[in-house]
Amino acid sequence: MDKDKVMTERNIELSTEFSRYLFEHPEIEERIAKDAEIILLPEFDGELKEYNLQVGRQVESEGGTVVYVTIKQLRPKALSRMEGVGLAATV
């Protein structure tokens, strides 16, 4: 698999997580200009961070507006969001 494809797949996963974050933190979305390109900079993935920085610089060199979003870490994936589940033989 070529590097661009690998980086695209990693960015898709990160973008999905960022979208979820925005749903929980709409105040962040309000601070992002509507015409801005969002460039995600994951501190836990140096290769992807550098790749995305290059993309951001390219957008800026073409006159585009860029917002850089630094991400310190991702929590482990969870298969379920349920909490407090209990089992009983009878109700």
Question: Taking the model in full, what pTM does it have?
Answer: 0.81
**How far is Cα 75 from Cα 30, in angstroms, rounded to an integer?**
24
Instruction: Tell me what pLDDT residue 72 has.
Output: 95
**How far is Cα 91 from Cα 89, in angstroms, rounded to an integer?**
7
Residue spans of the domains in the chain: they are 3-71
Instruction: Tell me what pLDDT residue 7 has.
Output: 97
Instruction: Tell me what pLDDT residue 50 has.
Output: 98
21 to 38, 57, 80, 87, 91: CA distances (angstroms): 14, 24, 17, 31, 37
Give the pLDDT of the chain (91 residues) as one tens digit per residue. Answer: 799 999 999 999 999 999 989 998 999 999 999 999 999 999 999 999 999 999 999 999 999 999 999 999 988 877 777 788 888 887 6
The two structure tokens encoding residue 73: 């870490």
